[in-house]
């Protein structure tokens, strides 16, 4: 596959690399749990307002960052997670998890009012994913695909990190999503088109929640270390890159104020369509990945 929407485009891993990146987070599950941000409270409120008191299925729940926010509000959440190491951390926080790729998950007759996927849907097959979500949701149930994305950073800050990455990991310079990523890698809204093209979902809607947070040098270094493209680097090289990035933050005064937008792609399970019925999607319709 080639062209601006193929996996070889900047920020778009090829299939083998994508598979390795999808399961890279578990190589330091505790570090992921510690360093990654959670999700805006207003978003969590909105999701649960739409779900009523019904059960929630959290796809690619990882260490349970979103699942914990949902359970803290009284929701009953089941996580589906491909990586046992991530699932173990989620379970240590009291989250029920079944270890499975979502594509292979067996709902076994269970039906959920809300199906969430936070920072995870781009690792799920774009045809099998919507079909499986349709099977797992009650009629009218909501699918919510979520990503924390960086707003366009300050050009001076970008330039400082770019210089560091060009020197220490040129293959990540200008592509890694943690630094903002290339504009063409931000086509995540296309995932909503694929969900509605499946024929099983209606009322597609895009919402954005803006927020910001502050990282000190250690927290920023730890966050970078959780990124899938950084995790695939040789460990010694990764350490040199992280040390270099830490020096950049120190030179900027030891703190980084990062503006995020949480992108929420929402759709409702059709009430009148049998689960699994829907249009197929060609490989060139695969949307952007590389967000995590
Ligand atoms: C970037 S993490 C997001 C974790 C969590 N949702 C969060 O917001 O912190 C992506 C997670 O998806 C999992 N994953 C990747 N491919 C998957 C698949 N096909 N089915 C289920 N989980 C998958 C990974 O193991 C990882 O834990």
Three-state DSSP class for residue 32: helix
Query: How many whole angstroms separate alpha carbon 287 and alpha carbon 12?
Result: 9
Q: Which residues make beta-bridge pairs with 261?
A: 149, 210
Q: What is the pLDDT of residue 286?
A: 56
Q: What is the pLDDT of residue 104?
A: 98
Query: How many whole angstroms separate alpha carbon 97 and alpha carbon 62?
Result: 9
Query: How many whole angstroms separate alpha carbon 258 and alpha carbon 149?
Result: 10
185 close to 290: Cβ distance less than 8 angstroms: yes
244 close to 162: Cβ distance less than 8 angstroms: no
Verify whether ligand 1 is closer than 6 Å to residue 127 (CB atom). Answer: no
Give the number of C-alpha atoms closer than 13 A to the C-alpha of residue 186, restricted to the C-beta side: 16
Distance (Å) from CA 79 to ligand 1 centroid: 10
152: Cβ contacts below 8 Å, ≥ 6 apart: 180
Distance (Å) from CA 96 to ligand 1 centroid: 15
Atom of ligand 1 nearest to the CA of 86: 27
- Nearest CA to 60 out of 97, 7, 110 is that of 97
Distance (Å) from CA 102 to ligand 1 centroid: 9
Verify whether ligand 1 is closer than 6 Å to residue 68 (CB atom). Answer: no
Query: How many whole angstroms separate alpha carbon 184 and alpha carbon 61?
Result: 26
Q: Whose CA is nearest to atom 4 of ligand 1?
A: 62
Do β-strands 56-59 and 77-81 pair in parallel, antiparallel, or remain unpaired? parallel
- Nearest CA to 287 out of 149, 176, 182, 189 is that of 189
Atom of ligand 1 nearest to the CA of 129: 19
Mutational test site, ligand 1, from 60, 128, 290, max ligand atoms within 8 Å of CB:
60
Verify whether ligand 1 is closer than 6 Å to residue 56 (CB atom). Answer: no
Verify whether ligand 1 is closer than 6 Å to residue 80 (CB atom). Answer: yes
Could you tell me the pTM of the whole model? 0.90
Distance (Å) from CA 122 to ligand 1 centroid: 9
pLDDT in tens, the chain (292 residues): 222 223 333 345 678 888 889 899 999 999 999 999 999 999 999 999 988 879 999 999 999 999 999 999 999 999 999 999 999 999 999 999 999 999 999 999 999 999 999 999 999 999 999 999 999 999 999 999 999 998 877 888 989 999 999 999 999 987 777 676 655 456 899 999 999 999 999 999 999 999 999 999 999 999 999 999 999 999 999 999 999 999 999 999 999 999 999 999 999 999 986 554 444 444 445 566 555 7
Any idea which fold 15-151+182-212+259-269 has? Rossmann fold (3.40.50)
Q: Which residues make beta-bridge pairs with 115?
A: 57, 143
Q: Which residues make beta-bridge pairs with 212?
A: 259
Q: What is the pLDDT of residue 14?
A: 78
Q: What is the pLDDT of residue 280?
A: 41
Distance (Å) from CA 36 to ligand 1 centroid: 13
Q: What is the pLDDT of residue 4?
A: 26
81 close to 87: Cβ distance less than 8 angstroms: yes
**Inter-residue long-range contacts of 180-185, CB under 8 Å, 24+ positions, other chains counted:** 180/150, 180/152, 180/153, 181/11, 181/150, 181/290, 181/291, 182/10, 182/11, 184/4, 184/9, 184/10, 184/11, 184/288, 185/9, 185/10, 185/11, 185/12, 185/288, 185/289, 185/290, 185/291
The structural domains of the chain, with segments of one domain joined by +, span 15-151+182-212+259-269
Q: What is the pLDDT of residue 287?
A: 65
């Amino acid at each position: 596959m080639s062209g601006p929407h193929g996996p070889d485009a900047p920020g778009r891993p090829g299939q083998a690399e994508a598979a390795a990146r999808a399961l890279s987070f578990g190589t330091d599950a505790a570090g992921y749990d510690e360093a990654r941000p959670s999700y805006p409270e207003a978003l969590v409120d909105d999701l649960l307002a739409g779900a009523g008191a019904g059960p929630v299925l959290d796809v690619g729940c990882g260490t349970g960052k979103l699942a914990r926010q949902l359970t803290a509000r009284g929701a009953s959440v089941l996580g589906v997670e491909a990586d046992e190491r991530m699932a173990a951390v989620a379970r240590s926080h009291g989250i029920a998890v079944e270890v499975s790729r979502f594509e292979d998950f067996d709902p076994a007759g269970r039906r959920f009012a809300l199906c969430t996927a936070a920072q995870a849907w781009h690792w799920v097959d774009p045809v099998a994913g919507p079909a499986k979500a349709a099977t797992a949701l009650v009629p009218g149930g909501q699918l919510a695909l979520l990503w924390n994305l960086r707003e366009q950073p300050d050009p001076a800050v970008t330039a400082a990190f770019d210089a560091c990455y060009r020197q220490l990991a040129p293959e990540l310079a200008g592509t890694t999503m943690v630094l903002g990523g290339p504009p063409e890698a931000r086509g995540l809204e296309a995932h909503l088109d694929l969900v509605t093209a499946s024929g099983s979902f209606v009322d597609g809607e895009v919402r954005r929640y803006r927020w910001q947070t502050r990282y000190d040098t250690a927290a920023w270094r730890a966050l970078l270390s959780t990124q899938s493209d950084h995790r695939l680097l040789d460990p010694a090289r990764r350490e040199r890159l992280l040390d270099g990035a830490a020096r950049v933050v120190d030179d900027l005064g030891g703190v980084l104020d990062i503006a995020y937008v949480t992108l929420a792609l929402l759709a409702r399970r059709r009430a009148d369509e049998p689960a699994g019925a829907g249009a197929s999607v060609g490989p060139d319709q695969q949307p952007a990945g590389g967000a995590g």
